[in-house]
Amino acid sequence: MKRLTLKFGGTSVGSLEKIQKVAGIIKKKHQEDKEIIVVVSAMSGVTNDLTKKANLISKSYDPKEQDVLLSAGEQISSSLLSAALIELGVKARSWMGWQIPILTDKTHTSSRVLKIKTDEVLNFISNGGVAVIAGFQGVSIENRITTLGRGGSDLSAVVIAKFFETDSCEIYTDVEGVFTTDPSIHAKAKKIEKISYEEMLEMSSLGAKIMQPVAVQASMINEIPVNVSSTFSDDEGTKITSESEINYKNEVTGIAYSKNDAKVTLVGVVDKPGVAADIFEPLGKNNINIDMVIQNISSEGKKTDITFTIKRTDLSKAIKIVEDSSKHLNYQKIIHDNKVAKVSIIGAGMIANPGVTYRMFRSLADKKINILAISTSEIKISVLVHEDRTQEAIKALHKTFGLD
Ligand code: ASP
Ligand code: MG
């Protein structure tokens, strides 16, 4: 008998009517003689509301208490869904993370799953029950409730598929799958049939909001294929799987963007060995992640400009750190810009096809879009552009790489 992990996201259980609809979908699969483990998110908006409340109580809410608070949304949705199933005549029950238990490390607010005890749930599903597991939460070795980071019920689904050895891991959401780019930005975006783990990891890390990046990473490491599809449509979704299963026709599989970045430039830095290390060391020690870096060539060999990008939320902290260490850093001035966006083309097909880089730059140049910074990896090229030009850049690239 086939065993399935079915994960329903916040919008899929966003109202009582939607919960009843989801119960209907599960009942149908269950009648096809399948063993079913359901993973559920909180109803949409609930976790955000709890976060707001936490911020009103304290700007430095105790992380252990924050996990108790934020995990509450999944307790509500898992009970409502179990009860809706029972109402349809299906044997069902809910499990919180601590009841199973889903054992995690003690990195509160972004814990990682170490182990899941399987016997009780397996016993229940092999006797005809549908197990409904609260996503996003676990319990630490210190017996405290933990959560897996925002969007963490995706990670719950992947690790549950792993530990319960299910035949599939299906993520139900409010879009029909992974698209070549954000359909709300570009009407010509098309659904991707199959995408590799690596490409999906780049897409989700670079701004596509379909799946939590650490969940994609977990599916890649454990080679668990994931299917993403819509709760509200019967269309086949997107399969996230290994590269060997995919036949690459295009160099570029998808285009992602994010508006979470900021750019900092140190003008007139003295050009001598060790300056870059001196600039980035205090930032690194203060947990500021550096993304792109460009150093200009100094024309007379004395002074240069160094530009780097960081998360927008880190901007004021980063400026302060650089200014505080300006005694040892020899530069003329610091400038910054947070009205920037990162646009990335992603595709395993670009490895075997030279010329992708220049075609990307040419396509942007033809639209007179200025490139502020560049970074590349084997399967992606990212450029930083002015935020106002994001949509135009995406449309141009979508066309250039044959995705229209
Ligand atoms: N409810 C949690 C959140 O909103 C987990 C999830 O939905 O995946 O982040
Ligand atoms: Mg989610």
Question: Counting ligands in written order, which one lies closest to the CA of residue 149?
Answer: 1
Q: From the CB of 229, is ligand 1 less than 6 Å away? A: no
| Single-letter amino acid, residue 135 | G
Question: Counting ligands in written order, which one lies closest to the CA of residue 45?
Answer: 1
Q: From the CB of 152, is ligand 1 less than 6 Å away? A: yes
pLDDT recorded at residue 274: 87
Ligand 1, pocket-test mutation among 47, 78, 113, most atoms within 8 A of CB: 47
Q: From the CB of 14, is ligand 1 less than 6 Å away? A: no
User: Helix 63-70 and helix 72-87: axis angle, to 10°?
Assistant: 20
φ, ψ (nearest 5 deg) of residue 374:
-135, 145
Cα distance between residue 353 and residue 158, in whole Å: 33
Which atom of ligand 1 is nearest to 152's Cα? 8
Ligand 1, pocket-test mutation among 43, 113, 150, most atoms within 8 A of CB: 150
Q: From the CB of 42, is ligand 1 less than 6 Å away? A: yes
| Strands laid side by side in the 254-258 sheet | 254-258, 340-346, 380-386, 373-377
Q: What are the structure tokens assigned to 228, written together?
A: 């993403």
Place of tokens 């079913």: 36
Nearest CA to ligand 1 atom 5: 151
DSSP string computed for 158-207: HHHHHHTT-SEEEEEESSSS-BSS-TTT-TT--B-SEEEHHHHHHHHHTT
The candidate with the shortest Cα–Cα distance to 173, out of 188, 153, 189, is: 153
Q: Which residues contact 195 (CB under 8 A, 6 or more apart)?
A: 178, 203, 238, 239, 240, 241, 246, 253, 254
Q: What is the mean pLDDT of each run of 10 residues along the chain (404 residues)?
A: 96 98 97 96 98 97 98 98 98 98 97 98 98 98 97 98 97 96 95 96 90 96 97 95 89 95 93 88 93 83 90 94 83 93 95 91 97 93 96 98 95
Q: From the CB of 137, is ligand 1 less than 6 Å away? A: no
DSSP state of 243: G
Question: Counting ligands in written order, which one lies closest to the CA of residue 74?
Answer: 1
Check if 3-174 and 244-404 are the same fold: no
CA of 277 to the centre of ligand 2 (A): 38
pLDDT recorded at residue 399: 97
Cα distance between residue 12 and residue 38, in whole Å: 13
Q: From the CB of 136, is ligand 1 less than 6 Å away? A: yes
Residues in the chain: 404
Peptide bond into 101 cis (omega under 30): yes
φ, ψ (nearest 5 deg) of residue 181:
-160, 180
For the chain, domain boundaries: 3-174, 244-404
Q: From the CB of 151, is ligand 1 less than 6 Å away? A: yes
Ligand 1, pocket-test mutation among 110, 153, 209, most atoms within 8 A of CB: 153
At residue 158's C-alpha, the angle toward residues 157 and 161, to 5°, is 85
Question: Counting ligands in written order, which one lies closest to the CA of residue 209?
Answer: 2
Q: Which residues contact 166 (CB under 8 A, 6 or more apart)?
A: 3, 4, 5, 37, 160
CA of 127 to the centre of ligand 1 (A): 30
Which atom of ligand 1 is nearest to 148's Cα? 5
The candidate with the shortest Cα–Cα distance to 136, out of 158, 117, 121, is: 158
DSSP state of 348: G
What per-residue string of b and e applies to 267-293 under the rule 16 or more CB within 10 Å gives b?
Answer: eebebeeebeeebbebbeeeebebbbe
**Helix, strand counts (H, E) of the chain:** 12, 20
Q: From the CB of 73, is ligand 1 less than 6 Å away? A: yes
Q: From the CB of 47, is ligand 1 less than 6 Å away? A: yes
pLDDT recorded at residue 322: 92
This prediction's pTM: 0.91
DSSP state of 354: T
3-class DSSP state of 152: coil
Sign of the CA dihedral running 122, 124, 129, 131? negative
Place of tokens 């869904």: 81
Ligand 1, pocket-test mutation among 40, 41, 46, 50, most atoms within 8 A of CB: 41
| CB-count burial class (<10 Å; 0-12, 13-18, 19+) for 224 | buried
Which atom of ligand 1 is nearest to 153's Cα? 8
Nearest CA to ligand 1 atom 1: 42
φ, ψ (nearest 5 deg) of residue 202:
-65, -45
CA of 48 to the centre of ligand 1 (A): 9
Question: Counting ligands in written order, which one lies closest to the CA of residue 39?
Answer: 1
DSSP state of 375: E
CATH 3.20.20.10 applies to domain 244-404: no
Question: Counting ligands in written order, which one lies closest to the CA of residue 43?
Answer: 1
- Residue 263: which H helix or E strand, with range? strand 261-270
DSSP state of 288: P
Q: Quick count: other Cβ atoms within 10 Å of Cβ 357?
A: 13
Q: Are 7 and 171 in contact (CB under 8 A)?
A: yes
pLDDT recorded at residue 158: 98
Cα distance between residue 208 and residue 206, in whole Å: 6
What's the CATH architecture for 3-174? 3-Layer(aba) Sandwich (3.40)
CA of 10 to the centre of ligand 2 (A): 6
Sign of the CA dihedral running 183, 189, 190, 191? negative
